[in-house]
Amino acid sequence: MNKQDKDYALVERALRLVGWNCSLSRRGFLKLTGSTALGLSALGVLAAKSGAATKKAALPFIIMEQAQGLVIGDPTRCLACRRCELACTEFNDGKAAPAMARIKVRRNLNFGPQGAYAGQRGQGSWGNGLVLQDLCKQCPHPVPCATACPNDAIVVKPPTNARVVDTKKCIGCKMCQRACPWGMMSFDPDTGKATKCFLCDGKPKCVEACPAEALRYVAWRDLTDKVPPRFVPTAVIPPEKAAACNQCHKR
């Protein structure tokens, strides 16, 4: 089996492990990876985590501390006013820029000019009409966005231990955006830097701004196995990081 065949098999296995049940043609594989040499993608990080859970393997060595909390949303309460998005960017960035907010509010309607399509939400063939709030999962190790960053610019920030982008290290390559299975990384075109939810140091402004109490700041829990991925990650992890991951995710 040559390297391309091995990469092809790895991607198909990883897709199944994270619940992306679809067949992948050779042409689709090349389109997905962008090259014949995929290496270990951010999808592989999720696959390693899922595989360990499936086989009841010992928990991996924790490289990044768990966050102390996270923000969760209640779609049945959301009014779609999007004040949360404004509060996020006005507080953190000093400007009203909902497109780069760390919380993303959208309606779940999987229908468009071309008919039904595979929208982000995936709840029902046509969607269910709910307004959903997408929020950072504050992933446990291995953290896809942090692992994919070539400059180690995504770090833990006390007191909440949320994962935050170190703007001094970030070079704006957007690799973290390609790595997040839920599309929760944002990018500031004015600064050329990536940005993500860091829980506003324990006092999330989105929660404070919500008039319907549709957002809550709660104790951390692992939601990565409970919320289906929105996208197929395509970021390629540097070989040295892949080797480090293999040391604690051997199965």
Could you give the number of structural domains in the chain? 1
Q: State the Cα–Cα distance between residues 23 and 29, nearest whole angstrom.
A: 10
Amino acid, single-letter form, for residue 57: A
Q: Is residue 176 part of a domain?
A: yes
Name the strand (E) or helix (H) holding 50. helix 42-54
Q: The tokens 């004040």 sit on which residue?
A: 83
Q: Which domain holds residue 205?
A: 69-219
159 lies in some domain: yes
**Mind listing the pLDDT tens digit for each residue in 142-186?**
889 998 998 999 999 998 999 999 999 999 999 999 999 989 999
Question: Residue 196 falls within a domain, yes or no?
Answer: yes
Residue 28, domain member (yes or no): no
CA dist 156 and 65 (Å) reads 7
Look over the chain and give the mean of its residue pLDDT values, rounded to a whole number: 76
Ranking 43-52, 127-136, 236-245 by mean pLDDT, the lowest is 43-52
Task: Give me 32's structure tokens.
Answer: 């997905």
Query: At 147, which CATH number?
Result: 3.30.70.20
Q: Which of 121, 132, 124 is nearest to 75 (CA)?
A: 132
Residue 5 tokens, joined = 């065949």
Q: Is residue 14 assigned to a domain?
A: no
Residue 30 domain flag: no
Neighbours of 156 (CB within 10 A): 17
> How confident is the model over 71-98, as pLDDT tens digits?
999 988 999 899 999 999 999 999 999 9
Examine residue 225 and state whether it is found in any structural domain, yes or no. no
What is the spatial distance between Cα 234 and Cα 109, in angstroms, rounded to a whole number?
Answer: 25
Joined together, the tokens standing for residue 141 give 């190790």
Q: What is the DSSP letter of 15?
A: H
Query: Do 99 and 131 meet the contact criterion of CB atoms below 8 Å apart?
Result: no
3-class secondary structure, 141: coil
Determine the 3-state secondary structure of 208 from DSSP. Answer: helix
Asked if residue 47 has pLDDT above 70, the reply is: no
Per-residue pLDDT tens for 173-232?
999 999 999 899 999 999 999 999 999 999 999 999 999 999 999 999 999 988 878 778
CA distance 193 to 201: 20
Q: What would the two tokens of residue 74 be? A: 């209640």
Q: Which residues pair with 127 in a beta bridge?
A: 109
Distance between terminal CA atoms of the chain?
Answer: 21
Domain-located, residue 166: yes
